[in-house]
Structure 1
Amino acid sequence: MSTPENRWLAETGGTTGAQYAQRFADLASAGEDVHGEATLVDRLLPPGARVLDAGCGTGRVAVELARRGHRTTGADLDASMLAEARRAAPHLRWVDGDLLALTAEELGAPFDAVVLAGNVVVYLTPGTEADVVARLAGRLVPGGILVAGFAADRHVAPGDLARWCAAAGLEPVQAWAGWDGAPAAPGDAYSVQVHRRPAGPGSAGAGPVPPSRPA
């Protein structure tokens, strides 16, 4: 039986980093807000939180969160994307590799938050999704949060992510229909979810998550 190919690499060939970076540069130049993910995640965290941008691509979210004072690490298996990330922010930590295979030694100390933006969940290697979520959940501090956003009209439904998170021992906290904090409803084309690793007795964790739409 052949090993399934990563969906992102199968679709792009791992060569689209420069084009992807230019696309968002053009959007920013046109006055578009390209930091919606970072804005929401920033509001969920205390100052100076440790954040893993899992499937970081060109580093757009990690770089912006670092600019806002958080300690960020980005990880991705697309070398062309990471080349753009390193070019944009050589002072930040960028890790090459599949999210399923990354080790604690490569990633460093546990994180207050793991972020999966930009349809990372949709582009994981088929059949590895639950294992990836479990691996990332294991890199959270007690009370730390996993924040994921993805197109819900493809092959991953909101309930799939919720199931994988529950299997990994995470508790559901909040769900929205987009990074702008629009309320979630059945049939949404996009899903943003927050799940938390339970905090042990006396654990500080990542701090409280707002129970409603972000300001």
Structure 2
Amino acid sequence: MEDNASWAEIVAADPDHSQWYVDRFRGLAAEGADLDGEARLVDALLPRGSRVLDAGCGPGRVGGALHRAGHVVTGVDGDPVLVAAAEVDHPGPRWLVEDLTTFDLGETFDGIVCAGNVITFVHPTSRRTALTRLLAHLEPGGRMAIGFGDHRGYGFDEFRADAAATGWAEDVLLSTWDLRPFTAESDFLVALLRPA
């Protein structure tokens, strides 16, 4: 499977992939791995009790941590296996099966997090649509934290152009979720974006 395959293509090629992914993070949690780095950054961006959209929530580790930190979390993911795991492992947030390219929750959020390479799992022809749908769910003055690696088939320059074309402005670019600066040599991008 190519590095730039969409999540739907990955699951179609390997129907057990979603459960493997759930089991992987359950195992890491059982080992005591630090799985909350993304949530710590997002928590620092927002006042306590903020409404947060976890876009591409997977099995809920980021949204679950934000909920435990005192935020009101809604998580969306197109994979029902991952959403079911989020409901079991991280009760409290609202977890929904939704496609990032078509979802319309009829509400907006103070902040959005899109972690775990999620944007790279959206089909390349639909990435701008997903970025547009995310922007439609953000309060004026809100921000989105989105991160992914350069090995995922979505170049950083291409992403930045897509974000600008869909109404996003850059606040800060980082190379890690623990606030290391983004440079030309960075192999990971964490972009803090706001409406343009």
TM-score, with length taken from structure 1: 0.82
Deviation at 1:15, TM superposition (A): 4.0
1:163-202 alignment, distance < 5 Å: 163-198=161-196
Q: Which runs of 5+ in 1 are unaligned?
A: 1-5, 199-215
In structure 1, the residue matched to 2:93 is 92
CA distance in 2, matches of 1:91, 1:32: 22
Is residue 144–residue 194 contact of structure 2 (8 Å, CA) maintained in 1? yes
Preserved contact between residue 57 and residue 76 of structure 1 (Cα < 8 Å): yes
What are the equivalent positions in structure 2 for 1:1-215 lying under 5 Å apart? 7-13=6-12, 15-105=16-106, 109-198=107-196
1:147–1:192 Cα contact (<8 Å) kept: yes
Contact between 2:141 and 2:195, CA under 8 Å: does it hold in 1? yes
Partner Cα distance (2:18, 2:85) in 1? 6
* CA drift at 1:25: 2.8
| TM-score normalised to structure 2 length | 0.90
In the alignment, the residues of structure 1 paired with residue 93 and residue 64 of structure 2 have an alpha-carbon distance, to the nearest angstrom, of 8
Q: Which amino acid is the alignment partner of residue 22 of structure 2? A: A
Q: Provide structure 2 residue ranges, at least 5 long, that are not aligned to the other structure.
A: none
* Structure having the larger proportion of residues in helix: 2
Once the two structures are aligned, what percentage of the paired residues are identical?
A: 36
Aligned partners of 2:42 and 2:85: how far apart in 1? 22
Alignment partners' CA distance in 1, 2:39 and 2:158: 24
The answer to which of 121-130 and 6-15 deviates more is 6-15
What is the aligned-residue RMSD (CA, Å)?
1.7
Quick one: which amino acid aligns to residue 138 of structure 1? A
Instruction: Look at both structures and tell me which one has the larger radius of gyration over its CA atoms.
Output: 1
Alpha-carbon distance in 2 for matches of 1:71, 1:139: 15
> What whole-Å deviation, never above 9, does each CA across 1:49-100 have from its counterpart, x for those lacking one?
1111111100110111000011110001111101101112343211112111
Paired residues of 2:80 and 2:97 also in contact (CA < 8 A)? yes
